């Protein structure tokens, strides 16, 4: 399969790098990372290791069987516009937050798949990516159900060695992922702690309440998701990735804009009654961003 990974940061580089074992992969990302990969290959370390030689670019190729979008949620609209110049068989969003699939569908005339990814990744230097935790990728049609594209994508990912499941229930899966991210990301970013710190102490209760508020909003949106389910899932992920630094924590450490609007902020906007923990987390992270000129 010919695959374009649009947004080759940490997760995009890891997923694209593993896919390059078996498929023709184009990594589309920023300099100097792309030049380093072009010159010496992509060095993968950690729980997955090896060197692969995907093609690299700062713009999409003319065509691809599949585009895997891994940009930050606030860049989704720009990604959709950029991919309009690429003839695609389909697109898969492997992004944080909600609403990315509908934004991509507005720009692109091809099927759009939704996906979740619990692999951990970190870029320490151009041309390298560290796998900080083996996880699972789940893909399926954004509106639920089944499709040939989802089946082909799942098979292609598994052939390359990525733990991948094809699901007909992606809308619920996305809400479950949102709840987990709501509990883990902003909490660890504000406290400057690794994921495992959420397993005990008062910060555990903050993470629990944030995830449970997300489950409540999901139920009001018509998705069967209990507070107990998301609480268990949140702490399972925190335990499995105990040593990891969450993506939002990485952004804060690098003094970059976060995805708070598409995670905790999304929950606040759709809550039928106040989601006080998510409101607080959203306000604190947004204030941090304004202080540094990262948002208006």
Nearest to 139 by CA among 117, 114, 156, 112: 114
The domain limits of the chain are 2-168, 171-291
What does the pLDDT average to over 175-203?
97
DSSP per-residue string spanning 228-257: HHHHHHHHHHHHHTTTPPPHHHHHHHTT--
CA distance 51 to 267: 40
173 is catalytic: no
The two tokens of residue 164 are 């991948």
Give dist(CA 65, CA 20) in Å, integer. 14
Residues 94, 69 contacting (CB under 8 angstroms)? yes
* CATH code 3.30.470.10 for 2-168: no
Least confident of 51-55, 132-136, 149-153, 289-293: 132-136
Residue 5 has pLDDT above 90, yes or no: yes
pLDDT digit string, tens, across residues 190-244: 999 999 999 999 999 999 999 999 999 999 999 999 999 999 999 999 999 999 9
Contact 71, 7 (CB under 8 A): yes
- Alpha-carbon gap, residue 242 to 224, rounded angstroms: 28
The string of DSSP letters for 109-168 reads SS-EEEEEE--EEE--STTEEEEEE---EEEEETTSS--HHHHHHHHHHHHHT--EEE-S
Q: What integer best gives the mean pLDDT of the chain?
A: 96
pTM for this one?
0.92
Task: Judge if the upstream peptide bond of residue 32 is cis by omega within 30 degrees of 0.
Answer: yes
pLDDT tens-digit readout, 237-283:
999 999 999 999 999 999 999 999 999 999 999 999 999 999 999 99
Protein fold of 171-291: 1.10.1040
Fill in the DSSP letter of residue 97. Answer: S
* pLDDT at position 169: 96
* Catalytic annotation, pick one of 72, 173, 177, 209: 177
Say which residues have a Cβ less than 8 Å from residue 254's Cβ, sequence separation at least 6.
Answer: none
Tell me: the pLDDT tens digits for 29-78? 999 999 999 999 999 999 999 999 999 999 999 999 999 999 999 999 99
296 pLDDT above the threshold of 90: no
Residue 124 above 90 pLDDT? no
What is the C-alpha separation between 187 and 273, in angstroms, rounded? 21
Q: Per-residue pLDDT averaged across 171-186, rounded?
A: 97
* Tens-place pLDDT, residues 96-121: 999 999 999 999 999 999 999 999 99
């Amino acid at each position: 399969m010919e695959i374009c990974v649009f947004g080759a940061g940490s997760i995009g580089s890891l997923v694209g790098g593993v896919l390059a074992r078996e498929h023709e992969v184009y990594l589309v990302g920023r300099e100097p990372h792309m030049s380093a990969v072009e010159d010496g290959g992509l060095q993968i370390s950690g729980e997955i290791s090896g060197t692969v030689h995907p093609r690299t670019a700062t713009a999409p190729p003319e065509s691809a069987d599949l585009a895997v979008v891994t940009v930050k949620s606030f860049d989704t609209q720009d990604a959709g516009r950029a991919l309009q110049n690429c003839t695609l068989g389909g697109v898969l969003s492997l992004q944080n937050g909600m609403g990315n699939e509908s934004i991509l569908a507005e720009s692109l005339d091809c099927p759009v798949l939704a996906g979740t990814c619990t692999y951990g990744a970190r870029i320490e230097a151009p041309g390298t990516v560290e796998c900080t935790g083996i996880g699972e990728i789940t893909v399926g049609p954004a509106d639920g159900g089944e499709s040939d594209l989802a089946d082909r994508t799942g098979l292609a990912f598994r052939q390359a060695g990525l733990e991948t499941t094809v699901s007909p229930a992606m809308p619920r899966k996305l809400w479950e992922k949102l709840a987990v991210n709501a509990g883990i990301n902003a909490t660890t970013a504000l406290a400057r702690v690794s994921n495992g710190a959420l397993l005990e102490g008062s910060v555990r209760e903050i993470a629990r309440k944030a995830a449970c508020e997300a489950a409540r909003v999901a139920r009001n949106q018509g998705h069967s998701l209990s507070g107990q389910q998301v609480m268990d899932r949140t702490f399972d992920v925190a335990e499995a990735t105990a040593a990891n630094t969450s993506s939002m924590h990485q952004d804060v450490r690098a003094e970059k804009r976060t995805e708070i609007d598409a995670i905790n902020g999304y929950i606040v906007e759709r809550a039928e009654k106040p989601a006080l923990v998510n409101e607080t987390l959203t306000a604190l992270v947004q204030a941090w961003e304004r202080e540094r000129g990262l948002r208006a």
